[in-house]
């Protein structure tokens, strides 16, 4: 990936150095009937730091991220707690106040990239629309910048990819397209929710390397949600483990994965040993 920085015109508002970019405190999420699904989640994240959220399906990890993004499904809501993004209380925001944040300072990439792209519009045009909307670029400038972003996402022959439709691209290429859209405005916070789950092992490793490169280059804070401990071991500084809507353990990634304290975490680690988890532990510490 190129080491050149993105255009200064898209630089995000500066994050104050004396506080985390994201602080989640006692977050509780419940159904309209009062049934609580997420029970008092706490964590903080500094600019340039990567946090992994791991747990099985139904653990509350994706609901936690959707609450941060302000996109909880209907029938669900935040009932208590705080989500502070650079001094902005996100739980208090209405739709109008979300507009200058989501997709610009806070962005996300999800599983199944094809479902987030319009099948009838060329992928380059979809990226260009995001660039025009967030940065106010002309059509010509948006196209130029879009091709460059595709190139920097590792998409070979970026000019050709720019003109293609989603069905003409592989799953790994589509995920790179979505990442390009997500980082086009240089967000301060990027949430990757199971973003590599549907990819084969080789492509998954390439996308994880891309996320690491973007984190280093842009200094963004990264939340990586996965059920795969090997994924978070490769990328994350710290990890929280969720089960049944609650955090059962948290800590530095290498410490938690080599000496887990909670029985559930020990079980997760043991289940991943056969996939070579040890070969990934410590990789993040080594790259600092």
Count CA atoms closer than 13 A to 282's CA, side-chain side.
5
Domain range summary for the chain, segments of one domain joined by + = 19-105+189-288, 116-184
Residue 21 tokens read as 């970019």
Mean pLDDT, the chain cut into blocks of 10 residues (288 residues total): 39 54 98 97 95 93 96 95 96 88 92 90 96 92 95 92 96 92 93 85 85 90 91 92 96 92 92 63 48
pTM for this one? Answer: 0.85
pLDDT at 4: 42
Kindly report the CATH class assigned to 19-105+189-288.
alpha beta
- For 131, the 3-state DSSP assignment is helix
Q: Which helix (H) or strand (E) holds 51?
A: strand 50-54
pLDDT at 2: 39
Contacts (Cβ under 8 Å, ≥6 apart) of 32? 75, 76, 77
């Amino acid at each position: 990936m190129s080491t050149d920085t993105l255009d200064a015109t898209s630089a995000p508002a500066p994050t104050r150095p004396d506080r985390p970019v994201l602080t989640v405190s006692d977050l509780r999420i419940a159904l309209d009937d009062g049934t609580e699904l997420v029970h008092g989640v706490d964590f903080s994240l500094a600019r340039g730091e990567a946090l992994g959220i791991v747990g099985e399906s139904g653990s509350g990890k994706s609901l936690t991220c959707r609450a941060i993004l302000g996109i909880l499904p209907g029938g669900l809501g935040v009932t208590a707690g705080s989500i502070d993004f650079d001094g902005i209380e996100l739980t208090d925001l209405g739709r109008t106040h979300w507009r200058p944040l989501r997709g610009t300072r806070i962005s996300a990439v999800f599983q199944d990239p094809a479902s987030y792209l319009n099948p009838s519009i060329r992928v380059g045009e979809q990226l260009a629309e995001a660039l025009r909307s967030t940065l106010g670029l002309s059509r010509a400038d948006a196209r130029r910048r879009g091709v460059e972003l595709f190139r920097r996402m590792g998409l070979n022959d970026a000019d050709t990819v720019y003109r293609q439709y989603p069905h003409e691209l592989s799953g790994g290429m589509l995920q790179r397209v979505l990442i390009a859209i997500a980082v086009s405005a240089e967000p301060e916070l990027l949430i990757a929710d199971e973003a590599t789950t549907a990819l084969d092992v080789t492509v998954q490793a390439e996308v994880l390397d891309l996320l690491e490169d973007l984190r280093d280059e842009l200094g963004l804070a990264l939340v990586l949600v996965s059920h795969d401990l090997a994924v978070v071991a490769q990328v994350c500084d710290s990890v929280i483990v969720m089960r049944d809507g609650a955090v059962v353990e948290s800590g530095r990634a290498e410490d938690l994965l080599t000496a887990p304290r909670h029985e559930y975490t020990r079980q997760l680690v043991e289940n991943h040993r056969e996939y070579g988890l040890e070969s990934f532990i410590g990789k993040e510490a080594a790259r600092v």
